[in-house]
Amino acid sequence: MTHTPPLEHHPRPDGLRLAYRHRRGSGPTMIFLPGYRSDMEGGKALALDAWAARSGRAMLRFDYGGHGASDGRFEDGTLASWRDDALLMIDAVTQGPILLVGSSMGGWLALLIALARPDRVVGLVGIAAAADFTQWGFTPAEKTRILEEGRLLQPSDYSEEPDLTTRAFWQSGQSLLLLEQEIAIDCPVRLLHGQADVVVPWSVALRIGEQLRSSDVQMLLVKDGDHRLSRESDLSLLVATLSTLLDSLS
């Protein structure tokens, strides 16, 4: 079962279509949650899908509205709307237990989804999870520009096009902050983070770990790892982490 699942679309209530690829298989369905401006065809998503194919495991990849092959404009999305896109796809396409794998912003969304679907989420893996980044990821001057001008453009490390942050996205993030109180998640959690990450400080992983209610939390720090954690060694660590976690759940 090594084929690439077909590209399919599922409509949102507003008619916008979300693109996804669903690999059927055994065990909890792995759900990959991409980062800000990323999509389901990124290196980590493809590496996990290839491993799922080899091991016969179920996996769902999809694009939030305004990302990748999905309909919509990126600038119309917010943290809440992309969380709701993920919940829609999970509820419409999958059944039974799920294991969330979130990269960067996707790690923040994974925590929000686990809070919204505690009866279905049996495990969570964060890769440079960027929880609360609207709070710590901008200077006071940048926050002022976002609020007064409605948008902030910044050079991107990963694209020729600048990164856009809208007022609506920033306000949505501020309404969904998690790190100032207990995070009421009880499933096993694994947090992978590069200590050379200049985008999301690895101290964020420690803060997430402190705030999680679950007693089964492990942090894996990669001393020379950057934000993407997409080197072969990083991908091998991710697969090994998932494999061990899934084995412990069976």
As annotated, the active-site residues are 104, 197, 227
Q: How many CB atoms lie within 10 A of CB 242?
A: 21
Q: How many CB atoms lie within 10 A of CB 227?
A: 20
Q: Is the dihedral of CA 72, 76, 81, 86 positive or negative?
A: positive
Q: How far apart are CA 82 and CA 110, in angstroms?
A: 11
Q: Assign 179 to helix, strand or coil.
A: coil
Q: How far apart are CA 90 and CA 22, in angstroms?
A: 11
Q: Is the dihedral of CA 7, 236, 104, 187 positive or negative?
A: positive
Q: How far apart are CA 240 and CA 19, in angstroms?
A: 28
Residue 114 is encoded by which pair of tokens? 């686990």
DSSP code string of 59-128: EEEE--TTSTTSSS-GGG--HHHHHHHHHHHHHHH--S-EEEEEETHHHHHHHHHHHH-TTTEEEEEEES
